[in-house]
């Protein structure tokens, strides 16, 4: 079959040939007067598959010539083509989508104008910067269209890693209830100590606070401040023996942990969502979060608190996601906004 390269498109003028290409894979757009108009992505793929010959001024057009035309017309065209090609080879019908997405992906066996698309797909080079604010705007539009967002990250060797992106808070079933008890805590430096068998048992059995060290209980600064603000704990400074209030404890916490305010906002929000929250240090994140009793549930999420304008490299993001995947957890980036916390959950998938 022969197509003609013209104005960044490839035209298949023969109606029968155009119909055959379209019906077997839904490539291109049928023309009202017969024939088929192909995007450069479609044309290169069909050329590779030896389903189409392409000519310009009666001369054959090569794969490299088509790629050059694409690069001149579209930014990161080569990245888009690698992703388009991979999804096509996996059996999906892929069509260009409206910005800010790159493609609409239809389920296997589906067809444009007959089947709703399954994903909005972004094709991204590993060298691009992840900007949470810009990414959140993309998710706004994806959610309005009631689709799911799939990110295809292309490395310098052309290998592709796929991430499914969902903006949804983790939720558990561990309800927080005031203890109706004035527990005494001792501020050491970067943690709070609780002594007394009854108090230790109460804190551990109610919401699994702290970690037992011999007969005492060590609380993180987030746990201690949460209990103070809830009215369940009074704290004294181990050095001065003076009582300290919540504001003083916050100041002390910031002295030893500069991003404490950020972390504490996320800690409180997770508690509000009935999650059990523990440190995620050994996994390279701020928190690990359980849906409930840790003897029944494993920690499903690793949660990392980030600022509103958080930016990082995609390789760094990929490292964090891969680590979470390797320990059978899901990473959630908790973006701290003025009045709320927004959670972006990223999961490595195979489409």
Q: What is the pLDDT of residues 162-173, one digit of tens each?
A: 999 999 999 999
Burial (CB < 10 A; 0-12, 13-18, 19+), residue 62, is exposed
**Cα gap 149→28, rounded to integer Å:** 23
Determine whether 329 is an active site residue: yes
Mind listing the pLDDT tens digit for each residue in 76-132?
A: 999 999 999 999 999 999 999 877 778 999 999 888 888 988 899 999 999 999 999
Are β-strands 2-6 and 53-56 bridged in parallel, bridged antiparallel, or unpaired?
parallel
Active site residue 184: no
Please check whether residue 46 is in contact with residue 93, taking contact to mean a CB–CB distance below 8 angstroms.
no
Marked catalytic residue, from 92, 286, 329, 343: 329
Cα(308)–Cα(64) distance, integer angstroms: 43
- HEC profile of the chain: CEEEEECCEEEECCHHHHHHHHHCCCCCEECCCCCEEECHHHHHHHHHCCCCEEEECCEECCHHHHHHHHHHHCCCHHHHHHHHHHHHHCCCEEEECCCCCCEEEECCCCCCCCCCCCEEEEEEECCCEEEHHHHHHHHHHHHHCCCEEEEEEECCCCCEEEEEEEECCCCCCCCCCCCCCCEEEEECCCCEEECCHHHHHHHHHHHCCCEEECCEEEECHHHHHHHHHCCCEEEEECCCCCEECHHHHHHHHHHHCCCHHHHHHHHHHHHHCCCEEEECHHHCCCEEEECCCCCCCCCCEEEEEECCCCEEEHHHHHHHHHHHHHCCCEEEEEEECCCCEEEEEEEEECC
pLDDT of res. 101? 77
What is the pLDDT at residue 299?
94
Domains and CATH numbers, the chain: 2-72 (3.40.1170.20), 183-256 (3.40.1170.20), 270-349 (3.40.1350.10)
CB contact set of 59 (below 8 Å; sequence gap of 6+): none
Please count the other Cβ atoms lying within 10 Å of the Cβ belonging to residue 297.
Answer: 15
Answer whether 328's CB lies under 8 Å from 298's CB: yes
Spans in the chain with pLDDT lower than 50: none
Cβ neighbors of 310 (< 8 A, separation 6 or more) are 132, 133, 333, 335
Answer whether the bond into residue 307 is a cis peptide, omega within 30°: no
- Catalytic choice (45, 290, 301, 343): 290
- The predicted pLDDT at position 350 comes to 94
Query: What is the rounded distance in angstroms from the CA atom of residue 89 to the CA atom of residue 22?
Result: 16
114 is catalytic: no
């Amino acid at each position: 079959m022969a197509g003609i390269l013209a104005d960044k498109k490839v035209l298949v003028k023969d109606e029968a040939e155009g119909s055959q290409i379209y019906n077997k894979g839904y490539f291109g757009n049928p023309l009202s007067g017969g024939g088929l108009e192909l995007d450069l992505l479609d044309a290169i793929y069909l050329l590779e598959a030896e389903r189409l010959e392409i000519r310009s001024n009666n001369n054959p057009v090569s794969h490299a010539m088509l790629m050059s035309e694409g690069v001149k017309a579209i930014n990161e065209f080569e990245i888009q083509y690698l992703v388009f090609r991979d999804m096509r080879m996996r059996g999906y019908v892929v069509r260009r989508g409206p910005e800010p997405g790159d493609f609409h992906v239809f389920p296997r066996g589906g067809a444009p104008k007959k089947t709703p698309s399954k994903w909005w797909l972004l094709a991204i080079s590993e060298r691009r910067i992840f900007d949470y604010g810009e990414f959140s705007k993309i998710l706004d539009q994806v959610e309005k269209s009631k689709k799911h967002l799939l990110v295809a990250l292309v490395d310098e060797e052309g290998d592709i890693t796929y991430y499914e992106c969902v903006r949804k808070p983790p939720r558990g079933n561990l309800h927080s209830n005031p203890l109706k008890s004035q527990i005494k805590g001792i501020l050491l430096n970067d943690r709070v100590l609780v002594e007394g068998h009854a108090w230790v048992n109460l804190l551990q059995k109610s919401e699994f606070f702290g970690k037992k060290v011999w007969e005492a209980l060590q609380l993180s600064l987030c746990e201690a401040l949460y209990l103070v603000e809830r009215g369940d704990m009074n704290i004294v400074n181990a050095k001065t023996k003076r009582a300290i209030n919540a504001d003083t404890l916050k100041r002390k916490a910031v002295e030893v942990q500069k991003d404490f305010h950020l972390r504490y906002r996320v800690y409180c929000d997770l508690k509000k969502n009935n999650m059990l929250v523990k440190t995620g240090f050994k996994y390279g994140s701020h928190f690990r979060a359980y849906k409930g009793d840790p003897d029944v549930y494993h920690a499903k999420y690793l949660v990392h608190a980030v600022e509103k304008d958080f930016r990082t490299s995609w390789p760094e993001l990929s490292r964090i996601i891969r680590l979470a995947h390797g320990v059978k957890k899901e990473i959630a980036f908790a973006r701290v906004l003025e009045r709320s916390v927004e959670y972006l959950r990223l999961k490595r998938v195979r489409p």
